[in-house]
Structure 1
Amino acid sequence: MEKRTNHMEYLPDMEQIDSDIKDKVIEAMNAYEPDKYTENDVLQALEHDTKTIEDFKALLSPAALPFLEEIAQQAQAETRKHFGNSINMFTPLYISNYCENYCVYCGFNCHNKIHRAKLNYEEIEKEMQAIAKTGLQEVLLLTGESKKMSDVEYIGEACKIARKYFKVVGLEVYPMNSDEYSYIQKCGADYVTVFQETYNSDKYETLHLAGHKRVFPYRLETQERALMGGMRGVGFAALLGLSDFRKDAFATGIHAYLIQRKYPHAEIAFSCPRLRPIINNDKINPKDVHEPQLLQVICAYRLFMPFASITISTRECQRFRDNIVQIAATKISAGVDVGIGGHSDGEKKGDEQFEISDGRNVKEVYDALCKNGMQPVMSDYIYV
C-alpha cells in the first residue's frame, strides 16, 4: 500500500500561522464527556441568561434531550431578540466539481466516477443572471477542492462577476493562504465557510485519504487565515454523523467562540449539515444524528452564540426547514441545484455532490416563510 502523507504535517505551500486556537479547540473537545452531564446541569444551564462553556456542554449532552421543548423555546426567544422575524435567503452555485481530495464520504471525491465539469466565465455569468432574476441578492460560490482546475484567479473572476449581480458573495472552496484570501476579498467575496468535517484528528485521518484536505491543522486554521486576509465573515461546520456528533458540535462551537473573542469584528456563522447519500455510495449513513439531535445542536449553538447566523441547508427536508427557521436558524437556501450548471436554461454539465431533500424554488420558500409569519430578507448588507 502507498505510504500516506502525515495528516498533521503542513505541505510546503501551506501558510502556518502563529495561533493557539487550534490547540485550545482540540484540548477542550478531548476533555468533553457528554455522558457525565445530568438533568440538573441542563436545568442550571437553562437558568443562565448568558450561557457559559459548561452550559453549552450540558445543552449538547444526552441529558438535555428530554428538555428539548424548553431548550427550543429559549432558543426561539433568543433568536427573536437579535434577529426579529427576518430570515436571509441565498442559493449555492457550484461552478466546478473537479476535486483532488479523496474523502470517503463525498460524491466529489477524486476516485468517484462522476461526470466532471467546470463552468467558463460566460457560463458563470449566465447562471448568475438566472439566479438574480429570482430576486435573490446573495450567492454562495462552490467548487470541488482542486487548485489546478479552479485556481485562485478563476475563483476571483467568479467573485467579480457575482459582484455585478449580488450584494453578498460567499465562498465554499478549498482552504487558502491569507494573501490569497486578501486577493479574493478584493475581487468581491464577503465571507468564507469551511466544513472541518470532524474535529477528531484520528477519525479525520481515516476519512481523508489523499489531497490537500488530508492536512488537518491547515484546514482547522482556515477561518483565521480568511479573517487575516480581510474577510468580513467566516462560517463553521462539522459534518454531523462522521464521528461523535456531540463532541464535533461542541468543538465547532468552541472554535467559533474563540475566533469571535480574538476577532470581535468578524461575523460568525454556523452550518449544521448531516451526512447525505452520495452517488456510488450507500455505506455511510449518519451516526445517531436524527432530527431531535439536530434540533438540539442548532438550539445549543443559538443559546451559546446568540448573535451567530445559522444556516439550514437543503440536506434537510421541507418540514424540518420550515420549523427550524421559526426557532433558531436565520438563513435558508432556496432554488438549490448541487450539480454544475442547471440554473440557466442550459442543461446541467456535471454531477451533484450529494442528494438534496428540499427541492423548492425561491418563490416557494419565500411564500412558505411569509405564511409562517417570517420575513424573508434578500440582503441585509448594502455597499455605499
Structure 2
Amino acid sequence: MLDDTDILKIFNSADPALLEQLAQEARILTKQYFGRAVSLYAPLYLSNHCANQCVYCGFQARLDLPRRKLDAQEIDAECQALARTGIQNILLLTGESRKHTPPEYLETAIKIAKKYFAGIALEVYPLETEEYARLNAAGCDGITVFQETYDQERYKILHPAGKKKDYAYRYQTPRRAALGGMRQITLGVLLGLADWRQDILALYAHLRSLEKEFPGVDYTLSFPRLREAYAYKEKNYLVSDTDLAKIICATRLLFPRAGLNLSTRESAAFRDRAVHFGVTKISAGSSTAVGGYIAPDIEVSHNVHSAPQFAVNDERSVAAVKAMLERQGFDPVFTDWRCLVK
C-alpha cells in the first residue's frame, strides 16, 4: 500500500518509465473495477450571481459583469436543449449566492430537471444538512464541492470576503450532504492555487475520513486545473500535463473504487488519453455560461446568455465525445443508475 512518502516520491520523480508503469497499473485497476465504462454528463449553469470574492473566479462578486438567473421557463428550455443531445446526467451549477438562488429556487430547478434527466447533481453554495435532505427528496442525488485548496494560509488570501472564507464550514460540507442523504459526492481541488502535491495529499486524507464515516456513498474525485480568469494570472503553482497524469494514476492506485472526473477545462487530446489510465467520468458538449444551451427555435423571455465561468478547451459535441470513446473501445454510459422509488 502506498503511503504519503511514496506518493511524494512519485509526484517529484522525473522518470518517464515510472509514469508509464503507473499508467499501466492504473489501467488494469480501472478495467477491473469499472470495465470499459465511461460516464458522460454535462453542466447546466442556472445563475452567475455570487457573494464571494474568490480572486481566481470569473463569477466573483467584485467583477462588473452582467448577472443572470434563469427563471423556471428558461430552466425548462435549457433542459430540453441539453436532453436532446442524449445527456442523462447533469450538474446544476450556480454562483455562490444564497440570496439570489435560495434552496427554494434550487428545489424548483431540480423538479424541472427531473422531467428530462435520470441523474441530477448540484454544485452550489454549501447548505445545511436539512436543506440537502430536502433537495435529495426533490430528486437531487449528488453534490460537487471543492475545498479549492487545503493550504489554510493560501485559502485566506484567495477568499478575502464572503461566506466561502469560512474554511472549516466548507470542509464539513460533504459530511452534511452525506447526512442529508446524498448518494454521490464529488470532491476536488483547483490545481494551481497552491502547492499541488500537498493539496492532493490533503484531498486524499479528506476522502479517507469520509469513506470511514459514510462507506455507502459513491465518491468521485475531480482535478480541474486553474485557467486564467480576468485579473488572476498567478503562475507560481502551474500543473503540467505530466503532473496531472501522475495525479490521476496515483489516485487510481490508492482509491480503485472511486470515480475520477475530468472536465472540458482540459484539452480533447489529454482527455482522450486520460480515459486509458484512470478517468471514468467526463463532461461533454459543455457550456459554462448561464443560458448556454438554449436552441434558437426555443422561445424564451429574453436573451439569457452570459459570460462563462471559465474557458472550455474541449468543445466537442456529445456525439463527438461518444464516437471518440467507442473508437477507443470504451462504452459511453449515459444512465448508470435510475431511481425506481416514486
Amino acid of the structure 1 residue aligned with 2:121: G
Match of 1:119, SS state, is coil
Tell me, yes or no, if the aligned pair for 1:100 and 1:211 is still in contact at 8 Å. yes
- Equivalent residue for 2:45? 94
TM-superposed CA distance for 1:285, in Å, is 3.5
Distance 1:285 1:109 in 2: 19
CA contact (8 A) 2:53 2:62 kept: yes
1:15-94 to 2 correspondence within 5 Å? 50-52=1-3, 55-59=6-10, 61-63=11-13, 66=16, 67-94=18-45
Q: Does 1:192 align with 2:143?
A: yes
**SS of aligned partner of 2:112:** helix
Partner letter of residue 92 of structure 1? P
- The 2-side partners of 1:286 and 1:95 are apart by 32
Match of 1:332 in 2: 282
Q: Are the equivalent residues in 2 in contact too, given 1:326–1:374 (CA < 8 A)?
A: no
Give the C-alpha shift of residue 295 in structure 1: 0.7
Of 61, 66, 73, 1:122 maps to 73
- 1:307 maps to what in 2? 257
Q: Please state how far the C-alpha of 1:235 moved relative to its aligned partner.
A: 0.9
Residue 372 of structure 1: how far off its partner (Å):
1.1
Is the CA contact 2:80–2:116 (under 8 Å) kept in the aligned structure 1? Answer: yes
Unaligned runs of 5+ in 2: 297-302
Q: Matches of residues 280-295 of structure 1 in structure 2 within 5 Å?
A: 280-281=230-231, 283-285=233-235, 287-295=237-245
Q: Is the 8 A contact 1:65 1:293 kept in 2?
A: no
Give 1:370's aligned residue.
326
Closer, same or farther: CA 249–232 of 1 in aligned 2, 3 Å: same
Give the Cα–Cα distance (whole angstroms) in 1 for the partners of residues 93 and 201 of structure 2.
26
Q: CA deviation at 1:353?
A: 0.6
Residues 1:220 and 2:171 aligned together: yes
Q: Hey, what does 1:357 align to over in structure 2?
A: 313
Amino acid at match of 2:139: G
Does residue 232 in structure 1 map to residue 232 in structure 2?
Answer: no
Distance 2:8 2:109 in 1: 40
Shift of 1:55: 4.3
Once residues 189 and 326 of structure 1 are traced to their aligned partners in structure 2, the CA distance between those partners, rounded to angstroms, is: 30
* In 1: Cα distance, 2:75 partner to 2:139 partner: 15
Cα distance, 1:281 vs structure 2: 2.3
* Matched AA of 1:268: Y
Cα 1:64–1:256, aligned 2, differ >3 Å: closer, same or farther?
farther
Residue 207 of structure 1 pairs with residue 145 of structure 2:
no
1:133-148 map, 5 Å: 133-148=84-99
Distance in 2 of aligned mates of 1:156 and 1:285: 39
Q: Deviations over 1:271-290 (max 9, x none)?
A: 11000122x32523462300
Give the distance between the partners of 2:54 and 2:15, measured in 1 at CA. Answer: 31
Query: Which residue type is aligned with residue 362 of structure 1?
Result: V
Read off the aligned partner of 2:309 and give its amino acid letter: Q
What is the CA distance between 1:52 and its match in structure 2? 4.7
Q: CA deviation at 1:159?
A: 0.9
Q: Name the residue aligned to 2:106.
A: 155
Q: Which amino acid aligns with 1:373?
A: G
Could you tell me which amino acid in structure 1 is paired with residue 68 of structure 2?
A
Measured against aligned partners, the alpha-carbon deviations of 1:193-235 in whole angstroms (never above 9, x if no partner) come to 1010000111100000110000000001110000011110111
Contact kept? 1:241, 1:287, Cα under 8 Å? yes
Structure 1 counterpart SS, 2:27: helix
Q: Given the two structures, how large is their TM-score scaled by the length of structure 2?
A: 0.94
Root mean square deviation of aligned Cα: 1.4
Q: Whole-Å Cα distance in 2 between the matches of residues 268 and 115 of structure 1? A: 35
Classify the secondary structure of the residue corresponding to 2:143.
Answer: strand
Give the alignment partner of residue 251 of structure 1, picking from 202, 214, 236: 202
The structure 1 residue matched to 2:223, chosen from 258, 268, 272, is 272
Per the alignment, do residues 247 and 89 of structure 1 end up closer, same or farther by CA in structure 2, a change over 3 Å counting? same
1:299 Cα offset (Å):
1.0
1:165 aligns to what SS in structure 2?
Answer: coil
Give the C-alpha shift of residue 54 in structure 1: 5.1
| Amino acid in structure 2 at the alignment position of 1:284 | E
CA apart distance, 1:57 = 4.6
SS at match of 1:99: coil
Residues 277, 285 of structure 1: 8 Å contact kept: no
> Aligned-pair distance for 1:133?
0.9
Count of residue pairs brought into register by the alignment: 333
**CA distance in 2 between partners of 1:81 and 1:58 (Å):** 26
Residue deviations 1:307-365 (CA, integer Å, cap 9, x gap): 00111001100000011012110001011100000212255522111111111111011
Partner of 1:20: none
